[in-house]
A = this chain, B = another copy of it.
Amino acid sequence: MSSPSSILRRALLGRPVASSAHDAPRLGRWRALQATSSNALSSLAYAPDEIILTLVAAGGATLWLGPFVGWAVVAVMVLTVLAFRAAVVAVPQGGIHRMARTKLGPRSGVLAAAALLLDFVFTAAVSVAAFAHHLSVLVPAVDGLTWLVAGAALVLVLLSALRGDAGRGRLIPVVVTAFVVLLAALVAVGLWQDGQGRLAAASTAGLTVADAGLGSAGGLATALLALRAFSAGSVLLTGVEVPLSATHRMARPAVRTVRWVLAVLALVVGALTVGVMHLAQRTGAVVALDPAALRHPDGTPLAPGEEPGPVLGQLADAVFGAGSPGATAVIAVTCLLLLVAARGSFHSFPALASRLAAEGYLPRQLRVRGDRLVHTWGVLALGAGTLLLLAVFRARTALLVQLYVIGVLLAFTLALIGMVRLWRGKLAHTPGVRARASVRLRYLVTALGLAVTGLAAVVVLVTRFRQGAWVALLAILFGALVMGRIRRHYRAVEAELAPDPQDDARALPSRVHVVVVVSTLNRPALRALAYARATRPSSLEAVVVDTDRQATERVVEDFARAGLPVPLTVVAAPYRDTVVPLVRHVRSRRSRSPRDLVMVFLPEYVVRPGWRTLLHNRTATRQTRRLQREAGVMVGSVPWQIHEGDPRTGDRTPPDAVGHTRRGPRDSAP
């Protein structure tokens, strides 16, 4: 089995892992936090950028709004997490999808699931795109190659995902911890410098957009701008739901662990976000969707190479000094964290897809675990989806984010609607004052969470509708529709295939007619005839489809000469089609008595390596496919392994081993 491809496979993906390795020990609090927080933390690498570039696009005079928008986003995030912390008590397993389904029914569950699946694809795409963006700060040589770097990162992450958890080791916890520590240090030092009045300005401070529509317009325009910035920044919410779907891997009591993880995660992400937004405002850092529109205070455009880098990079340069070890470390660990976040999507997506497949909403292949215990099809599907997004959006983070947020907010809103209903129901049925007080608190927290996520969803939908939110919405609706249809199909098939007591499928056919299709009377055909006779059928005939007069005559002659105890039927094919006349003949054989079974034996050559198969008529394949659509017909393939060519095949499978034993070296002695 060690063909070159399987050696390569082993080298890249490792040895197969037995199913018994599936039951890994559960994760403690800190390990659980580290394992599930990369998605939420990675938002810090692009959420501030999104807020600032929205404000800058309006001229830059409104940059002072930045910290306020940051506070608003963090507030929504914290309220949502509080609602989740309440929800997990009632629905400890299954995450957002299950929450939405519990009270709103399968349709809403599927809608939330579709939104989350799309969200995971966007997370992977945004993460590798942002990775390429940040890497270009460290390695200026890759600056123009965003698309290439993002693609390479995707391949890397994909390979790691195909290797599975077995090879993960301790890299991820280290990266996550280092990111949090470094970012905390950045914020702390920066704010301390600011307090001392020693905070340096960002290299981009003072840049403005040439001809912004807004300038210093009125209050309504400013409010609208703040809403737009808020909707861009709400990308920060993505990923806070990840711990919810990992409770089954957390140390018992799992609910308590996950509640702790959620709280700490919200605290860390919230504090860091507020800190970063404040620092950004104080240093005057500027980023822009289109750097060519930026102008120096004196009106001159940017020189080549002066394009602003990501916000975290600008802050690290301002606080630690450009090119200092500290600044380099911040960007390097951000790059790593973005890869870890993409890798996280390659865990979350296949897991959710597999759960949906188990319920019949997605193709069953998504449930299959490959030889590394990984949901191979899920990983590959996500890889393909991510590649598509990267290609469509040319790996530009800012464009990707436009479509990103609506999916998460929709899923959160659906889940929290379900939870509000659940708590309201519980409230009505909970006796006792203290218990009722606890439930009422949860009800209120959930309602508040729902109010803010719902509001955020409306804001995003309204302010981003034309920039692509409608595409994401359509994609989610379409995905939910398809998932519903898939489930209907599986249901119908299952119902049809279920055996019932008076089932006729168990009844033996009363008679078996065997038809052997012969195109040349060569050894494969002779073997097929022998095999067919070995089944001792009620009736047996050989059939030749007459597409070529000369060839048919030769078969008829050979057949007569061979003296086989089998009648030969010539089926006319005036239009040279080998399939339809054969099917008609087989059908006519059966229609004489519908309780009969027709077995069609087709001699087939098996040729390897692959390219040689192009040299042989695929007639048998086409005949098989068509005959399989006939009722009461069974198709038997009698393979003949062509020896020539691949010595490996030849050694293992002697082509003529049936009917005689291979002669040993004894026979070849003189």
Q: Say whether A632 contacts B657, CB under 8 Å.
A: yes
Q: Distance (Å) between the CB of A36 and the closest chain B CB?
A: 26
Q: Say whether A659 contacts B575, CB under 8 Å.
A: no
Identify 8 new A-B residue pairs, CB closer than 8 A, beyond the known A507-B660, A631-B655: A368-B576, A497-B524, A499-B526, A505-B526, A505-B530, A531-B597, A594-B658, A631-B653
Q: Is A165 an interface residue (CB 8 A)?
A: no
Contact of A371 among B498, B576, B617, B640 (CB under 8 A): B576
Q: Say whether B604 contacts A628, CB under 8 Å.
A: yes
Q: Is A11 an interface residue (CB 8 A)?
A: no
Q: A368-B576, A661-B595 are in contact. Are A530 and B507 (CB under 8 A)?
A: yes
Taking CB atoms, residues of chain B closer than 8 Å to A641 are 628-629, 631
Q: Distance (Å) between the CB of A30 and the closest chain B CB?
A: 32
Q: Say whether B628 contacts A489, CB under 8 Å.
A: no
Q: Say whether A636 contacts B639, CB under 8 Å.
A: no
Bound-complex Cα distance A539 to B521 (A): 30
Q: Is A533 an interface residue (CB 8 A)?
A: yes
Taking CB atoms, residues of chain B closer than 8 Å to A612 are 489
A interface secondary structure, majority: loop
Contact of A364 among B526, B615, B643, B656 (CB under 8 A): B615
Q: Distance (Å) between the CB of A532 and the closest chain B CB?
A: 10
Q: A523-B503, A534-B508 are in contact. Are A634 and B631 (CB under 8 A)?
A: no
Q: Count chain A residues whose beta carbon lies closer than 8 angstroms to a beta carbon of B.
A: 98
Taking CB atoms, residues of chain B closer than 8 Å to A368 are 576, 617
Bound-complex Cα distance A499 to B561 (A): 12
Q: Say whether B631 contacts A19, CB under 8 Å.
A: no
Q: A509-B530, A577-B371, A594-B661 are in contact. Are A628 and B639 (CB under 8 A)?
A: yes
Q: Distance (Å) between the CB of A311 and the closest chain B CB?
A: 43
Taking CB atoms, residues of chain B closer than 8 Å to A371 are 575-577
Q: Is A171 an interface residue (CB 8 A)?
A: no
Q: Say whether A658 contacts B629, CB under 8 Å.
A: no
Within 8 A of B (CB), among A544-570: 547, 562, 564
Of the candidates A486, A521, A637, A662, the one having the most CB atoms from chain B within 10 angstroms of its own CB is A637
Within 8 A of B (CB), among A453-509: 486, 489-490, 492-493, 496-499, 503-509
Taking CB atoms, residues of chain B closer than 8 Å to A508 are 530, 533-534
12 residue pairs bridging A and B, Cβ less than 8 Å apart: A16-B577, A19-B547, A20-B574, A371-B575, A492-B644, A493-B607, A496-B643, A505-B527, A507-B659, A509-B534, A535-B535, A637-B637
Taking CB atoms, residues of chain B closer than 8 Å to A526 are 499, 503, 505-506
Q: Distance (Å) between the CB of A526 and the closest chain B CB?
A: 4
Within 8 A of B (CB), among A620-664: 624, 627-645, 649, 653-662
Q: Say whether B365 contacts A617, CB under 8 Å.
A: yes
Q: Is A91 an interface residue (CB 8 A)?
A: no
Contact of A659 among B490, B504, B608 (CB under 8 A): B504
Q: Say whether A364 contacts B629, CB under 8 Å.
A: no
Closest to A627 in B: B639
Q: Say whether A364 contacts B617, CB under 8 Å.
A: yes
